[in-house]
Chains A and B, each alone.
Chain A
Amino acid sequence: MSTEQSTARATEAPPGPSAPPPSAPSAPPPLRTRGLGAFFGSHKAIEDIDLDFEDNTVTALIGPSGCGKSTYIRTLNRMHENVPNARIEGDVELHGESIYGRAADPVAIRRAIGMVFQRPNPFPTKSIADNVLAGPKFNRIRLSRRERQDLVERVLRAAGLWNEVKNRLRAPAGGLSGGQQQRLCIARALSIDPDVLLMDEPCSALDPQSTDRIEELIDQLKERVTIVIVTHNMQQAARVSDRTAFITIETDGEPGRLVETGPTSDIFNAPSKPATEAYVSGRFG
């Protein structure tokens, strides 16, 4: 990365506290799942997953291909149910409230829980600025011209993209490189200030340099928002996450199950289950 970018980051990122404070035992975590299972028709993709996602924490979901990581993360903001015949069992709670409850509405849930997809999906014909402003527009948040400018600059800075695009905010987003597009998608997700940010293999379609840039970004963003990231790259999980959850399928046709979860250093250095050790040491998957 260029010096321009590192200076940019220095100005964008003032020093701040990074250690998570002790949590109050009474308050529920921002996001947690209880006995969560997901189906495609009659096929059960995942089963009985209990996980808590803490504040100011990046949680990585790792596991072999097809274990249901992506299915799981898509249940967390109710994107899973877009697939025909898809359904879930168990529950997901946002700050202690069920997002699958009677009153809960998927549109409101997705506004509160943002998502970044595997392949960058900016609106290619909309301009860079309009991509960022799509969030407020979709949610009928009215902004003055000044506020719009501020918002665009602020979230593009937060996504580390500002210096690269500040002179062409009106250019179509389709003209950006893959890595820039993915950071634009992150900026877009931040524009409506979600409580939780879900990232489904956000770097799998990117080159190593862009991957580095996004990983730095994740590290900065966790001060702001609870992050859940699916990755099949174990080095990435080790680099960016505070906690790691390992999901796997024991035999073909079985649903994916949570094997273990804990601080990332424990999972990679002292896993308690043999399956986890086999996976993280590269003997399996």
Chain B
Amino acid sequence: MSPPPATAAGAEPEKGSALGRSERRHPITRPVASRVADQAYVWLCTLAALAAMAGVGYLIYKTAAETGEVWSTYGIWGFLTGTEWIPQPADGQPVFGALPFIYGTLVTSAIAMALAVPLAIGVALATTVFLPRVLRGPVSAVVDLLAAVPSVVYGLWGILVLVPTLRPALEWVSEHNGPLGFLAGPVTSGSYLLSGMVLAIMVLPIIAAITREVFLTVPVDQQEGAYALGATRWEMVRDAMLPWARSGIVGASALGLGRAVGETIALALLLGNVPNVGGSLLGPGSTLAGVIALEFGEAFDVHLAALTALALVLFVIAFIINALARLLVARSSGGGESLVRRALTNRGLAGLGTIRAREQEGGDGLDEPADEPGIVEPPRRLAGLPSVSTSRRVRSYAAEGTVYLALALALIPLGAILYEIVRNGLPAISWDFLTTEQPPDAFTPGGGISNALVGTLIMMGIATAVAAPLGVLTALFINDVAAGLGPGFRRIGDAVGFFVDILLGVPSVVVGLTVYLALVLAMGNFSALAGGIALGIIMFPIVVRATDEILRLVPEAQREAAEALGAPRWRTTVSVVLPAAAPGILTGTMLALARASGEAAPLLFTSLGWQFLSTDVLAPIAALPQLIFANMVDIQTPESTELAWGAAFVLVAMILFLNLIARLIARFTRSLEVR
């Protein structure tokens, strides 16, 4: 017989252990301190979640309240359908009509969709079926890089590179347009067509990433079924994959559209900001997000209220599109909801690969990892067997060629952007450039970006300090606390989750304006603090959903193991759940930070910008994206252009670095788990 394993407390040997009636050795009640600790944990998470919700609720309230004047003066219908926007007339009352901006938003988004969706499907097919296996991962990672480039850098590239390059071609089109009135001249430097093209590049990676995931859900037996009937690779795609993935592709496109309508800075720089309805695609226009960003600086009273009303309209449009997208993607594949969230949280390959690998492990992390997901290779043709007819073969090769063409068209702009950033930005970089304040005006040569660099770092710090703890605690509330406290709490948890999903889809320009109305006005001045909080609000839902996803993947068996040992709830979380989830939470936070650090739009409303080096969090402060925007939006001189390229280089390098770290963490963790 084994010697009795004595109590851990060391009080051994006990009475009555091996012989006779045992006695109860452990109380069935718990020490008060332990219960209090659990209560504290529950309340901490609950308070964090509710505080975050209350804060956002307050922002929404302030924003809605601000617009009251607009509705009462112009009427909802009148405002929405008004075609004139004259905020500061020479005489008489200002006129506000939202239609030109709604029109501009929809037209640029439509052009972007028309270009991006076919290319994205091509990229997704190339990276799931057609490319050699070894190239699939790297190529989709490269496409994901397009998503990491900030909006303001796209705007910069559009103005300085794309517009001059394409101008001759567009002029030729306008002269030879024949009966096509919507392509008539004159060609302006800002235009719907160019804006739509840039927008297409910006939303392509998101659509491609989700479409790729949808393709990977096509059951293996469907694919094998097609191959078993003698299908070529293209025929398998046409008959097995595309029908299966149709609604998923529609949903992915709708998600891209949701992103497109909220894009601000690139369009503010590229579209020309001329409110008009109809007219040539080669002429200028304006979008909801663009006009808010551009006119905010000179807007007071009813003008400001009208811009706020536009923000509300934009929010509603984005909300409806995102809700539809979610419905479509969720219907098309089992893991739809989480796919959507991953897409919205801008986690491309870095998150997806890891999560996929884990999900296949059968939940407890102990199984052998399954084979590569999804895609079956076609059988090799054996010599001497009847071969595919020539016409079928030609068609299949043509289809494959089209897919590769789409991939090339998607990769060219990426290459061009990175090339231009390095070509123009790298020469500007020097120690002086990083440590000198920006010059006093656009005509003074020299100077640097120290004020913007410091400002960006300070606001990233504030944003992380706000979003990371609140985000993790809120995720714990949704995932652990609310679920464990009975049905009523679970409903609250679901409500919080829904709220977070709405936040994910809010355009960043709307976040900026609401923080201005609720915080900057209350504090009396623009500040780094307000800027950091605005960026934190953008990060918060990303952190919550990334954490939530990862918490779901912590095997239930691990929690049970701890609970069966008598671990209190908080202890299970701290000792078992969080350590297992830590790398994923870190990855999610890094990606959220990368996304927020490239945002210029919200900073225009909150931190404003400052020409000098400042570390005062209660005063206005500069930031890299805002500096680039400010140097491009009014006058472009060789001096201001050089400064903007240099700043863009630093910003993109910083964001890519954050992305790289996030990917490395994800990969490192995966390799740990496979063992």
Contacts and interface: CB of A to CB of B under 8 A. Distances in A.
Interface residue tally on B, bucketed by range: 35 or more
A175 B8 contact: no
A181 B4 CA distance: 21
Contact of A220 (B2, B561, B563, B565): B2
Nearest to A148: B8
Contact of B557 (A103, A107, A117): A117
B389 to A, nearest CB: 52
Given A12-B2, A154-B5, A224-B2, A17 B19 contact: yes
Contacts of A39: none
Interface string A197-237: 00000000000000000000000110110100000000000
B28 A97 contact: yes
A120 B672 CA distance: 19
Interface string B1-28: 1111111111000000111111111111
B34 interface: yes
Contacts of B568: 107, 138
Given A123-B561, A224-B5, A138 B575 contact: yes
B26 A111 contact: yes
A138 B559 CA distance: 12
A77 B19 contact: no
Contacts of B575: 134, 137-138
B21 A55 contact: yes
A18 B675 CA distance: 43
B1 A15 contact: yes
B69 to A, nearest CB: 48
B560 A121 contact: yes
Contact of B580 (A17, A27, A97, A125): A125
Contacts of A138: 562, 565-568, 571-572, 575
B341 interface: no
Interface residues of A, number: 76
Most buried by B among A21, A56, A185: A56
B563 A79 contact: yes
B490 interface: yes
Contacts of A191: 5, 8, 565
Q: Chain A's interface: helix, strand, loop or mixed, by majority? A: loop
A18 B2 CA distance: 12
A107 B566 contact: yes
A224 B17 contact: yes
Contact of B18 (A101, A104, A136, A224): A224
Contacts of B2: 12-13, 157-158, 220-221, 223-224
Interface in A161-195: 174-175, 178, 181, 185, 188-195
B10 A147 contact: yes
A221 B365 CA distance: 29
Nearest to A19: B19
B473 to A, nearest CB: 21
Overall SS of chain B's interface = loop
Nearest to A174: B675
Given A123-B561, A124-B365, A139-B566, A224 B4 contact: yes
B563 A108 contact: no
B24 A97 contact: yes
A151 interface: yes
A45 interface: no
| Residue of A21, A23, A124 most packed against chain B (CB within 10 A) | A124
B35 interface: yes
Contact of A56 (B9, B18, B34, B562): B18
B1 A220 contact: yes
A132 B561 CA distance: 12
B30 A108 contact: yes
Contacts of B8: 135-136, 139, 141, 143, 147, 151, 191-193
B259 to A, nearest CB: 35
Interface in B477-494: 483-484, 487, 490
A119 interface: yes
B24 A112 contact: yes
A155 B29 contact: no
B580 A140 contact: no
B110 interface: no
B579 A125 contact: yes
B557 A112 contact: no
Interface in A2-43: 12-18, 21, 23-24, 27, 30
Given A117-B561, A191-B8, A112 B26 contact: yes
Contacts of B9: 141
A114 to B, nearest CB: 7
Given A110-B563, A220-B2, A175 B28 contact: no
B28 A154 contact: no
A77 B19 CA distance: 24
B576 interface: yes
Given A110-B563, A123-B561, A147-B10, A85 B5 contact: no
A98 to B, nearest CB: 8
Interface in B543-580: 555, 557-558, 560-569, 571-572, 575-576, 579-580
A94 interface: yes
A23 B566 contact: no
A122 B26 contact: no
Contacts of B483: 84
Contacts of B30: 105, 107-108
Interface string B659-674: 0000000000000100
A30 B29 contact: no
B359 interface: no
16 contacts: A105-B28, A107-B38, A108-B29, A111-B565, A115-B564, A121-B555, A121-B557, A122-B561, A136-B8, A138-B567, A138-B571, A188-B561, A191-B565, A193-B25, A195-B22, A223-B1
Interface of B: 1-10, 17-30, 34-35, 38, 364-366, 483-484, 487, 490, 555, 557-558, 560-569, 571-572, 575-576, 579-580, 672, 675
Interface of A: 12-18, 21, 23-24, 27, 30, 55-56, 77, 79, 82, 84-85, 94-95, 97, 99, 101, 103-105, 107-112, 114-115, 117, 119-125, 134-141, 143, 147, 151, 154-155, 157-158, 174-175, 178, 181, 185, 188-195, 220-221, 223-224, 226
